[in-house]
Amino acid sequence: MTPQMTRAQAVRSRVEAIGIIPSVRLSSAEDARFAAETMSQAGIPIVEITMTVPGALAVITELTHNMPDLVVRAGTIFDIPTARHAVDAGARFLTRPVWICTSWSLR
């Protein structure tokens, strides 16, 4: 990160350089942690941990503490309190599901 670059710009630049964001949505914290670590070891230094993973915030905390070069995104964020907890856990950016409804999609 250069002195002129904000944290958000640095994360965006890194995401663009990597070109992929694997999403981890598994049924246990252990499996999610394993998947994230495996992707990082395989050369993909970015991962999304969805809030549907049991103990997702603890997984994010562990990953960001133990693997500081891994860019962790928190996904399936539906409200501000969860967003705050995810950022406090170490997530560098957040996403939420979006459903775009058009009249033709309801037919």
Q: Give every CB contact of residue 94 below 8 A, 6+ residues apart in sequence.
A: 73, 74, 75, 77, 83, 86, 87
One DSSP character per residue, 11-59 reads: HHHHHHHH----EE--SSHHHHHHHHHHHHHTT--EEEEETTSTTHHHH
Q: How many domains does the chain have?
A: 1
pLDDT at 10: 83
pLDDT band at 51 (very low <50, low <70, confident <90, very high): very high
pLDDT at 6: 84
Q: Which residues does residue 94 pair with via DSSP β-bridges, in sequence order?
A: 74
Closest CA to 77 of 61, 59, 62, 56: 56
How far apart CA 94 and CA 62 sit, in angstroms, is: 17
If phi > 0 it is left, if psi is from -120 to 50 it is alpha, else beta; for residue 47 that is beta
Q: What is the mean pLDDT of residues 20-24?
A: 88
Please indicate, yes or no, if residue 1 is contained in any of the structural domains.
no
List the domain range (segments joined by +) for residue 47: 15-106
- Residues 52-107: pLDDT tens digits? 999 999 999 999 999 999 999 999 999 999 999 999 999 998 999 886 655 554 55
* 8 Å CB contact between 75 and 94: yes
Please indicate, yes or no, if residue 39 is contained in any of the structural domains.
yes
pTM attached to this predicted model: 0.81
Look at 82 and 19; give whichever has higher pLDDT. Answer: 82
Please indicate, yes or no, if residue 52 is contained in any of the structural domains.
yes
Q: Which CATH number is 50's domain given?
A: 3.20.20.70
Please indicate, yes or no, if residue 44 is contained in any of the structural domains.
yes
